[in-house]
Structure 1
């Protein structure tokens, strides 16, 4: 699998099918081993004698001086620990220095990550990755695979810079707060092979003396009052009984702490656990910070942290009015109450034992076989009266048994007056997995607030039910389409998708023919669903032709779970003398142009002719006749159009040419050969240009995905760059900012 943003080739990174991208640097031989996770191949480095051995990248990678770069690899070796380095070179190939990681704390045959980050020094033009270990004898092996070199891989939306999110450079983004010292350590920590946000270095808080201990991030990113923020970090407790915690703090304009929300980890082991917590920034909040620590710790104990993130809290379901903290139960019971019945509420424990969304859920315990009502806090429901609302919980039967579970919505007026509950929907709750329970209700007149209410009937003593992923949202069409004529595409909106399942999206023409729709990774065919709400822009839809969309959802590859069909929609082109030229992978470059003359088509064919003595007619051997070829003549009417056409043509990509129906040509994918741009008059100020575009018919590009930000937001730009001048220095165009395509 290709690591996004990797400057190394797939073969060099994965060690498959060969390891020719690597070479011995010091005291070793290399070969291709087996037992890797990306593929079977690994880089096997064997020592020639006692002492340090190094293998390095055979070639080198172009870099820019003054830019921060990141490298990691997965390593394995039961004899000696490893480290990784970045070697900096100038134009002449002279080594300017090497930035080394710390050495892994212990040798391990289990695959573990080693990583390093450093800024390319002045004069650097190229870089190499170096893999190193120091055996005490000859014929000792270290193994490597899954190697990355490129820009730092950050968590999208993180308010913290890379220096705080990760300690790959140093620990300067952190300060000891209470009874602790700070350092960096590299435990032999394994991570999933495709989890690229965690590296080798961890922040290590060492307790100075018995008692409470804490560290805090130095950076204070800006926040917006009233916005809910999500903080998380991987915590590695020193012992199973450790009271390890993560805290999200808010500060006012004078840097005074005005709010702190803490979540305690309930670990299941002394490995890494991702602890999440959320809090809403209070009215006076200007900045935020995070802290972590141990309560009642012993001297010398170490708490390790990895991948520290603060970001705007995501919605559990698109459009939900219930905040993350009240619907996910990551730090507590979310303010839920028990108006009637004997049930008690608690956050589930331990970490990961009962969770559908995040790592914890709401544990509902009933000591007797009776009915209990549990209720969420009240939440504002804008313009609610007369609208249909949908409530959702995801529930699982734990101990004992539950005969029925009813989900309702309770309505309130602006003063908190109770307007009653909806009829609700009653479900049975069998033992086993998690079940999504939903109900719909129309809000009565006067509704300003609402709460989700669950009436659960235990059918055995000491019964436990887990509730998670609670949401309440206004019901909107699950599938909606809209024609955006001005920009030449149809927008398909899909809601309430099952995250984690697979999806296929096809366009259905009036004649019943079906064509796969293009997404970020190519044509959308059994792609994994990453969000419950997805907006797809179909830029290849035929013009002035009614189409609909057919959506197939799969619970597993090849196992169809459900289908959807959109309404019929048509994309129009107002001026029949115009045509669209589109880049399927870069729709931001699409351009509507004025057609001067359609091509006179040719269809070449490869032929060989033979003269047979004594025969009048030649013998002709023919290949298949090829696709259409011809010159399209168009005009651009302004300097902006002219520059936009150059941008569209610069890549040399296969384009889609679309003319209005009735013009005698079908939609066609084309390659454009050498172009001619001519002035239409001798007047220098004349902006019109006459273009000749030699077209060659091409096949539809099936593997090309639509380029985009892929999760990056303006917050990421603000976090990564201190000034707009830094942005201008790093990117040549705004399109490069969108695609994170640096100079």
Structure 2
């Protein structure tokens, strides 16, 4: 799969099927290698003699001065370490400079990530990717694959900049030593998944100065909202498995006074790279937050490396979930859970990665005796939920030792913390192999404003251990919901409580015809989910025709694990004199137009005619007949409609033409040729225009995603631009701000 936002061609990026995207720059010959990371192909760069060798992309890509660009690649070289650079060129293709990464700290035959980011310098018009290593002799080979050049890629929703997340940019690097250490950027040879596009390259590296505690901090402090739950995480590389490495989430007020510090301590199984999370709610007067890292009881010269850092507002796996993340996933301990009665004990699983459904830890309930215990969470506000709605609870359970029975309950409280009783499920035995999701549901009693999750667990044998993870409680709402948006001739589809398996979604008509629905990355066909809720805005639903939506989730064996089917709905088209012209990938461009004249369709066919001497009829060889071609004539009735139609046509992409039912025209994907915009009268003030649009029928775009649905927010704009003046300088339109398309980018 192509890397999103990559300015390089697939052939250049994956070195498949050939090396045509690359050319020698210094002291090397190129060939195609095998066993790459993105595809089987990779670039083999072999030295001619001793000294530095360089390969570069054969083509240059256009860049904009002052805009940040990043490049990365997977590299492999058992003999010499590598580095990667962005070569900046003038409009005349003269080299201005090269922004180099550090050189990998040691050679490594295993695939590892190299990366760098920088701002395009003044005068830069083009850029190339340069791959470099410095062997001591000739015929030394370095391998490269999965190459990217484009805007820095960071985690969607990350409040920190890309420089903080991956440390790829040296300028304005946002880290500072805090206590007993020095902090620097290093480039260790770390293997990451080929699809981990925000991973690898440089790491923030803390070197301990003397024996004792040491820490460093991110100097960025993004704005936060009081009462909102935030999650911070990073991959930590501790010096030893016994080291006490940690990540902290810190909140500050408007005067930069520290209000609250929450720490997540890594329980490391070794000296690899481990993602540690920490979460908490922003206190009442919080204005900013940041993230810090450290080692407790460290030894002089010990090193802690950190990479892939993110700070995000929490997005619960279940819509409306009220259980705090620290109580739901146990990433930083047992949270607020307590043993109300019985002999059970609670602990976070140990070490990191032992087990879990969400994150890297889970809660372990241990009982030395065959007895019953009650465990309970903190109380959570129910919020402004309609009183007639029931509540659903969920927990993942796994028997690690012995055997267990469980009763799942919701305990209700009023504003004064008065216990209003519980609603219990029946006693159930927990299966003895693997993880199982257990559910329960009930309505809140009158006066209830808070709730706690409560489990009555019975160990039916001695020395039993029960594991819990992914606890959730949310208002019970329909599994499916579909809303018709008449003003935009679209529907909004919401599918809830989906499993994590890949999903396909179809639009189905009364005659049973299924059509895949478009999402952010193209048609939703076995798409991987990151949430249990999927929201789709379908702008390609037919006009005046009843449809419903059907989704199927399938596991790795292809077995359907969940089906969702919505109600039937119809997108209205009350006036049949109007039609819609829509851009499948950019629905904000869609426009409704008044039809003047429908096309007279022609269907061309390539033919070769052979006249045989002495024979009456010619011999004709024909290809298949082509799609429909014709001229659609429409009117725009105002300057606004004229501007919108021009905006739609500017993209040059495949459009969808939709007419009202009964007009003898099916929904048709079309390419629009050279257009004519004419006045409807000789009066200079006439705003009506007649447009002649030559149409050629096209196939439905398959891989085209709905641009802008990947999660860009105003916080991203704030993170990337220091001032509003900077926004005005970088972007031509608000659409460009939304789609992150800087001028010239």
Aligned equivalent of 2:379: 378
Q: Partners of 1:234 and 1:422 in 2: how far apart?
A: 41
User: Which aligned pairs between 1:564-713 and structure 2 lie closer than 5 A?
Assistant: 564-606=564-606, 624-713=624-713
Aligned equivalent of 1:400: 402
User: Which aligned pairs between 1:76-475 and structure 2 lie closer than 5 A?
Assistant: 76-170=76-170, 172-382=173-383, 383=385, 385-402=387-404, 404-475=405-476
1:42 aligns with 2:42: yes
Q: Partners of 1:498 and 1:484 in 2: how far apart?
A: 28
Displacement of 1:457: 1.2
Displacement of 1:295: 0.7
Q: Partners of 1:301 and 1:581 in 2: how far apart?
A: 63
Displacement of 1:178: 1.1
Q: Partners of 1:622 and 1:303 in 2: how far apart?
A: 70
Distance change >3 Å, CA 143–CA 699, structure 1 → 2:
closer
Aligned equivalent of 2:61: 61
Displacement of 1:697: 2.8
Distance change >3 Å, CA 601–CA 106, structure 1 → 2:
closer
Displacement of 1:602: 3.3
Aligned equivalent of 1:734: 734
Displacement of 1:561: 2.2
Displacement of 1:248: 1.0
Distance change >3 Å, CA 632–CA 27, structure 1 → 2:
closer
Alpha carbons 1:385, 1:447 under 8 Å: kept: no
Q: Partners of 2:77 and 2:629 in 1: how far apart?
A: 59
Alpha carbons 1:316, 1:470 under 8 Å: kept: no
Displacement of 1:350: 0.8
Distance change >3 Å, CA 612–CA 95, structure 1 → 2:
closer
User: Which aligned pairs between 1:438-587 and structure 2 lie closer than 5 A?
Assistant: 438-499=439-500, 501-556=501-556, 558-587=558-587
Distance change >3 Å, CA 531–CA 39, structure 1 → 2:
same
Alpha carbons 2:73, 2:113 under 8 Å: kept: yes
Distance change >3 Å, CA 605–CA 15, structure 1 → 2:
closer
Distance change >3 Å, CA 523–CA 92, structure 1 → 2:
closer
Aligned equivalent of 1:32: 32
Alpha carbons 1:709, 1:739 under 8 Å: kept: no
Alpha carbons 2:407, 2:424 under 8 Å: kept: no
Q: Partners of 1:212 and 1:267 in 2: how far apart?
A: 18
Displacement of 1:20: 2.3
379-388 vs 450-459, which moves further:
379-388
Q: Deviations over 1:470-511 (max 9, x none)?
A: 111111111111111111012111000112x12121222122
Aligned equivalent of 2:721: 721
* Secondary structure of residue in 2 paired with 1:551: strand
Q: Deviations over 1:376-426 (max 9, x none)?
A: 111111346432110011111112222x22221111112111111113254
1:2 aligns with 2:35: no
Distance change >3 Å, CA 615–CA 311, structure 1 → 2:
closer
Q: TM-score, normalised by structure 2?
A: 0.96
312-321 vs 163-172, which moves further:
163-172
Displacement of 1:95: 1.8
Q: Partners of 1:699 and 1:10 in 2: how far apart?
A: 22
Q: Deviations over 1:44-93 (max 9, x none)?
A: 12222222222222232221222222111111111111111222221232
Distance change >3 Å, CA 174–CA 620, structure 1 → 2:
closer
Distance change >3 Å, CA 74–CA 613, structure 1 → 2:
closer
Q: Partners of 2:34 and 2:601 in 1: how far apart?
A: 55
Q: Partners of 1:617 and 1:370 in 2: how far apart?
A: 97
Displacement of 1:161: 1.9
Distance change >3 Å, CA 699–CA 94, structure 1 → 2:
closer
Alpha carbons 2:349, 2:363 under 8 Å: kept: yes
Alpha carbons 1:526, 1:557 under 8 Å: kept: no
Displacement of 1:440: 0.9
Distance change >3 Å, CA 385–CA 706, structure 1 → 2:
closer
Distance change >3 Å, CA 392–CA 107, structure 1 → 2:
same
* Secondary structure of residue in 2 paired with 1:222: coil
* Secondary structure of residue in 2 paired with 1:279: strand
Displacement of 1:619: 6.9
Alpha carbons 1:389, 1:442 under 8 Å: kept: yes
181-190 vs 90-99, which moves further:
90-99
* Secondary structure of residue in 1 paired with 2:51: coil
Q: Partners of 2:613 and 2:104 in 1: how far apart?
A: 82
Alpha carbons 1:268, 1:350 under 8 Å: kept: yes
- RMSD (Å) for aligned C-alpha atoms: 2.0
Q: Deviations over 1:235-288 (max 9, x none)?
A: 110011000111111112222112111111001111111111011111121211
Displacement of 1:617: 7.1
Distance change >3 Å, CA 168–CA 614, structure 1 → 2:
closer
Displacement of 1:607: 5.5
Alpha carbons 1:509, 1:546 under 8 Å: kept: yes
Q: Partners of 2:513 and 2:427 in 1: how far apart?
A: 42
Q: TM-score, normalised by structure 1?
A: 0.96
Displacement of 1:212: 0.7
Alpha carbons 1:315, 1:323 under 8 Å: kept: no
Alpha carbons 2:498, 2:562 under 8 Å: kept: no
Distance change >3 Å, CA 611–CA 238, structure 1 → 2:
closer
Alpha carbons 2:495, 2:564 under 8 Å: kept: no
Alpha carbons 1:316, 1:327 under 8 Å: kept: no
512-521 vs 479-488, which moves further:
512-521
87-96 vs 612-621, which moves further:
612-621
